[in-house]
Chains A and B, each alone.
Chain A
Amino acid sequence: MGKTKVFIGICLITALLATGCGKDELEPLDAPYELNLPVGFPPMPVPVGNELTVKRVELGKMLFFDKGMSRDSTVSCGSCHLQTNAFSDVIAISSGIEGRKGMRNSPPLFNLGYHPYYFFDGGVPTLELQVLAPVQDVNEMDHDFPLAVERLAQNPRYQEMARIAYNREFDAFVLTRALGAFERTLVSGNSAYDQYNNGQSSALNESAKRGLALFQSERLSCSGCHGGFNFTDYSFKNNGLAEVYADSGRIRVTAVEADRDKFKVPSLRNVALTAPYMHDGSIASLAQVVEHYNSGGANNPQKDERIKPLNLTAQEKSDLLEFLNALSDYEFTTNAAFAE
């Protein structure tokens, strides 16, 4: 009797396993990827079907640095997003293939899994969808998407990894998911500020501590927009860069007049490493950014009311700068796991 029950049990389990779809189950060759989130970071949302695994992340990283993604095989994602600069670019407007220029500054890439949307105008809701943009943008990789996928699919290594990671052949799905998976692992949260915040009071010098207080003060209200653990509330704002903007920002995707000249508030983590600044790279240094805010900015009708003359003393400016410099996470910019 007992034996029969066990036998039935085994049969049932075997039957269930044998008929499982295998879609969401990990192949034995793959294993979950452990995301080590810094203290104080909330859990990172991960889309169903693209849970992080070792092979998915590995494949995504290979693709990120693969120049074969561009039409003439000269540009990879890593060409405009450099690890030493927290995956941003050092020039105002990055060059795509044949040195073509787009219109925006390459933003840094870290803690991306927390963003509610992507790009300065917020038109793209997921990391997976974001991948479709640079590949096809004439000023970036200028590749016909089907051709790009077809060419990458010729790579036997990609085919092998696609099967292990996603249990299917290399295709548009695998390309977009794997890059999304790799990008989610780009987590940064070990700056001097973080160490200070986690109880190591010597991690910030006195000047940086005064800068932090200024940053959070009502008088400067920097943290009103650049608040939270990622130093942004992801809202769309105008910080008075110019009276007239060449790039109309969020209105490009919403067609709502109230969104004219508004841009996604950027994270200020690693900000000392991501010059030049703003959506158009128009401000060369952090010191000049501080001067910009101190001046109250240009008279743009969309300018947020908190952007107004601050009357900072020389000491306050250098304290604020000292604090912004303490947001650099060198463990992140030198982490071999993210290197080409």
Chain B
Amino acid sequence: MRYLRLLVPMLVWVIMASSCEKDPELIIEPDPSSITFNIYPKVGNQPMVLNQEYLDEDSYRIMPTLFRFYVSHLTLLTDSGELEIKDVALLSLEGLASGEPLTIEAAIPAGNYTGVRFWIGLDSAQNASDPATYAQDHPLSAFQGTFWTWNSGYRFVMLEGYYDTLANTPGPVATTSFFNYHTGLNTLYREAVLGAASVPFSVGEGDSYTYNLDLDLNRALYGSRDISRNMGAITHSTSNYQLAEDFTENFIRAFSLSNP
């Protein structure tokens, strides 16, 4: 009967060891501090929404109709190292009201942080995912409309809309000139260049900290590489790769600290 005394703990152990649930991530208790990243899409100083016309930096009319992008490996920097707080988020301007930000929220431990870093797009492992294996609302699911079906992989940044090919034209934007930038491919995976937008901050026990960034379309078009003149081009990255790369190089530099 000695065996019976062993039996109960053994059963408990077996049940625990064979449980399906993945071990929950280490939760730092008791610490409900959090951070919200607000990213305000703009054209220059104006808030940007979809399906509205803007005059860009060089006085060309432009109307974005779709704007989505992946932010991955959002990481906080500390004196002692780095803390990743979000592996992947998909941000979309769809349904966003004027002046509203795109947001990423995460729970973080209270403490002092020296800055942030994140990447635009997906790392090669994320980019090789099968979208049908994710729940519908996951950023990598087939339901997000970001997957390239003829060339398996994800679109990192999708920006589509209409533009005028001549500056200072009167009247509404010509809806005959469509532009369509889809960047993707592992070679276009880049860390955002934040510079002065990556500032130190501290978060107290139980506090929620807000980190405000602007994302300026002008900088994505007229950044270090001026792509506005050939905006008529369409790029799906493998077609017109140079345009996709130029746009990517600008886009990763289009973030700045919000001036409230």
Q: Is the CB of A16 within 8 A of B185?
A: no
Q: Is the CB of A129 within 8 A of B1?
A: no
The CB with the most chain B CB atoms within 10 A, among A11, A145, A175, A176, is that of A145
Q: Is A36 an interface residue (CB 8 A)?
A: no
Contact of B238 among A124, A176, A252 (CB under 8 A): A252
Q: Is B125 an interface residue (CB 8 A)?
A: no
Q: Is the CB of B142 within 8 A of A132?
A: yes
Please, which residues of chain A bring their CB within 8 A of the CB of B141?
A: 172
Q: Give the residue name and chain of the A residue nearest to B187 (CB).
A: A255
Q: Is B147 an interface residue (CB 8 A)?
A: yes
Q: Is the CB of A12 within 8 A of B147?
A: no
Q: Is the CB of A132 within 8 A of B132?
A: yes
Q: Is the CB of B241 within 8 A of A255?
A: yes
Produce 1/0 per residue, B16-39, CB < 8 A to A.
001110000000000000000000
Please, which residues of chain A bring their CB within 8 A of the CB of B147?
A: 132
User: How long is the Cα–Cα vector from A13 to B67 in the complex, in angstroms?
Assistant: 54
Produce 1/0 per residue, B144-186, CB < 8 A to A.
0101111110000000000000000000000000000000010
Please, which residues of chain B bring their CB within 8 A of the CB of A302?
A: none
Interface size class of A (residues with CB under 8 A): 35 or more
Q: Give the residue name and chain of the B residue nearest to A134 (CB).
A: B149
Please, which residues of chain B bring their CB within 8 A of the CB of A253?
A: 150-151, 238
Interface Cβ pair total, 8 Å cutoff: 91
Q: Is B7 an interface residue (CB 8 A)?
A: yes
Q: Is A20 an interface residue (CB 8 A)?
A: yes
User: How long is the Cα–Cα vector from A269 to B168 in the complex, in angstroms?
Assistant: 61
Please, which residues of chain A bring their CB within 8 A of the CB of B20?
A: 19, 21, 23
| Cβ of B123 to closest chain A Cβ, rounded Å | 17
User: How long is the Cα–Cα vector from A131 to B147 in the complex, in angstroms?
Assistant: 12
Please, which residues of chain B bring their CB within 8 A of the CB of A175?
A: 132
Q: Is B15 an interface residue (CB 8 A)?
A: yes
Q: Is the CB of A12 within 8 A of B238?
A: no
User: How long is the Cα–Cα vector from A255 to B237 in the complex, in angstroms?
Assistant: 8
Please, which residues of chain B bring their CB within 8 A of the CB of A121?
A: 150-151
Q: Is the CB of B136 within 8 A of A19?
A: no
Q: Give the residue name and chain of the A residue nearest to B147 (CB).
A: A132
Contact of B130 among A128, A136, A146 (CB under 8 A): A128
Q: Is B133 an interface residue (CB 8 A)?
A: yes
Q: Could you name 29 residue pairs across A and B whose Cβ atoms are closer than 8 Å?
A: A4-B3, A4-B4, A8-B6, A8-B10, A11-B7, A15-B18, A16-B18, A19-B14, A19-B15, A19-B19, A19-B20, A119-B150, A121-B150, A123-B148, A124-B151, A131-B132, A132-B131, A137-B149, A145-B142, A145-B145, A172-B131, A172-B132, A172-B143, A173-B133, A176-B130, A253-B150, A253-B238, A254-B238, A255-B238
Given A19-B20, A132-B131, 7 other A-B contacts at CB below 8 A?
A: A4-B1, A133-B150, A136-B149, A173-B132, A176-B130, A252-B238, A253-B150
Q: Is B196 an interface residue (CB 8 A)?
A: no
Q: Is A5 an interface residue (CB 8 A)?
A: yes
User: How long is the Cα–Cα vector from A171 to B147 in the complex, in angstroms?
Assistant: 17
Q: Give the residue name and chain of the B residue nearest to A23 (CB).
A: B20
User: How long is the Cα–Cα vector from A124 to B128 in the complex, in angstroms?
Assistant: 11
Q: Is A283 an interface residue (CB 8 A)?
A: no
User: How long is the Cα–Cα vector from A125 to B148 in the complex, in angstroms?
Assistant: 12
Contact A123 B142, CB 8 Å, known A21-B20, A252-B238: no
| Cβ of A67 to closest chain B Cβ, rounded Å | 20
| Cβ of A293 to closest chain B Cβ, rounded Å | 29
User: How long is the Cα–Cα vector from A119 to B150 in the complex, in angstroms?
Assistant: 8
User: How long is the Cα–Cα vector from A302 to B138 in the complex, in angstroms?
Assistant: 43
Q: Give the residue name and chain of the B residue nearest to A253 (CB).
A: B151
Contact A12 B14, CB 8 Å, known A4-B4, A132-B147: yes
User: How long is the Cα–Cα vector from A121 to B133 in the complex, in angstroms?
Assistant: 24
A-B interface, 8 closest residue pairs, ranked by CB to CB distance from nearest:
A123-B151, A133-B149, A253-B151, A21-B20, A172-B132, A176-B132, A255-B238, A132-B149
| Cβ of B245 to closest chain A Cβ, rounded Å | 10
| Cβ of B137 to closest chain A Cβ, rounded Å | 11
Q: Is A251 an interface residue (CB 8 A)?
A: yes
Q: Give the residue name and chain of the A residue nearest to B128 (CB).
A: A125
Q: Is the CB of A15 within 8 A of B132?
A: no
Contact of B152 among A5, A8, A20, A125 (CB under 8 A): A125
Q: Is the CB of A19 within 8 A of B18?
A: yes
